[in-house]
Structure 1
């Protein structure tokens, strides 16, 4: 298991055995033309679907329940960026290229969403590197001043989440008392 995912298990007080989900990750290349980062795979296998503090949602190819897998899961997850988030960001980027500096997936090197919160902030991978384990995390903070609207963090998604949980001032999680609680999504 990825070291940062192991840290998240401790930070989120989840039993070490986790949910025991088994996603056929090797099918993602065929289904959507890309592989997902290893730390993300470990995270989903351990935690399944849900949200940190009930507020920072980590998208998943899983359907509800411990069996968790349904055909189309990878396509559904990627479609969230292509069909829902992408058109909005592409429109804003066309009008305000200085304020929206990144292309959206499936454009080469585009942003692929992996999470969001109730404030409308969005967490992405910047998919420019052919090795998904080297995709940095890019966060867009909705409503933030232009100079602080985007944040880029090297390292994977799990390392980024450890940093967020370790920073009591993180804007991605509003409530201090629930920030280290994993809330599984059963529906």
Structure 2
């Protein structure tokens, strides 16, 4: 069995792998150890072949689909290290390694940086060096991806609440607002806008007044040398929904009669992205969006807008 130097690794992981040895979990995740002579399972060798998602990140797992699992040593105590994932973007989780493995195996984490869907998986560990059978999820149901569930793995839980949506929509002059925007504010109920690392999602009660303010500015200054876009309440006009600390503005393009298909347009690029507002947030916070905010990994306690997920700060 592998030997883990005292204090150099999270104790829960060291205890687990000291009991089981290195191997492939659920047919898809290689769990690595130090000093392993089996190809593909030695921590130091595998890390040398990769670009870490953070200068101090330490590798511990590799998925068959290519994504990687790391520790982010934000504290002198390894028990308080964050789990970091690198794949289609990067994200960090304030879970211990074994908490992460338990919840991932149970299909409870819809992780946007992973290509694998959130489904329960068989709790099998194939020892390093043995043939790995094709992975078969414990559930026969294909996993579906949910942008709000993905966002919750990044920013943690919210406080639920309700709004008088019909009154808000009537004031705006729209048949209805996108369902994902409503779910976002019903999940993260607030008297003010939702702020995520310098991105300000406009509050439902302020949508109408903020749109008027930003639309007036856009009419006078916003389009520059690019083509002019119609602005709500013009038919199919842009409707303001968010802004950033860097003074970018985000708008729904309302040309589609179905509000759930309204793409996001920003004045920073004269293009529109086929994202909903929550899909936009997930992309920005994992580093695969429009680069309108910083998506670096690090210790949230040092950030101006701390983001902890999927748990509240401990």
TM-score, length of structure 1 as denominator length? 0.72
Q: Aligned match of 2:218 in 89, 95, 109?
A: 89
Q: Does 1:25 align with 2:165?
A: yes
CA distance in 1, matches of 2:280, 2:307: 16
Q: Check the 8 A contact 1:39/1:158 in 2, yes or no.
A: yes
Matched, 1:52 2:225: no
Partners in 2 of 1:152 and 1:44 — Cα distance?
A: 23
Cross-structure match for 2:148: 5
Query: Any idea what SS the aligned residue of 1:158 has?
Result: helix
Structure 1 unaligned spans of 5+: 62-72, 142-148, 183-187
Q: Retained in 2: the 8 A contact 1:4–1:159?
A: yes
* Correspondence for 1:105 among 232, 253, 277: 232
Partner SS for 1:120 = coil
Q: Which TM-score applies when normalising by structure 2?
A: 0.45
Alpha carbons of structure 1 residues 24 and 173: separation in structure 2 relative to 1, 3 Å: same
Tell me by how many angstroms 1:30 deviates: 2.9
Deviation of residue 169 (structure 1)?
7.4
CA apart distance, 1:180: 7.4
The answer to whether the 8 Å contact 1:51/1:57 transfers is yes
State the distance in 2 between where 1:165 and 1:4 align. Answer: 12
**Structure-1 separation of matches of 2:255 and 2:159:** 31
Q: Secondary structure at the match of 2:239?
A: strand
Q: Name the CA distance, whole Å, in 2 between partners of 1:126 and 1:155.
A: 11
- Residue by residue over 1:119-172, the C-alpha shift from the partner in whole angstroms, topping out at 9 and shown as x without a partner, is 11011100111211010001122xxxxxxx323111311112211122167421
Bigger Rg over Cα: 2
Of 169, 178, 181 in structure 2, the residue corresponding to residue 40 of structure 1 is 181
Aligned residues, how many? 154
**Alignment CA distance shift 1:175-1:155 (3 Å):** closer
What is the SS of the residue equivalent to 1:151?
Answer: strand
Tell me if 1:121 matches 2:278: no
Q: Where does the alignment leave 5 or more consecutive residues of structure 2 unmatched?
A: 1-144, 309-314
| Matches of 1:134 and 1:39, distance apart in 2 | 10
Secondary structure of the 2:241 match is strand
SS of equivalent residue, structure 1 residue 160: helix
1:65-88 Cα distance to aligned partner (Å, 9 max, x none):
xxxxxxxx2xx3122112x11112
User: How far apart in 1 are the matches of 2:160 and 2:271?
Assistant: 32
- The structure with the largest helix share of the pair is 1
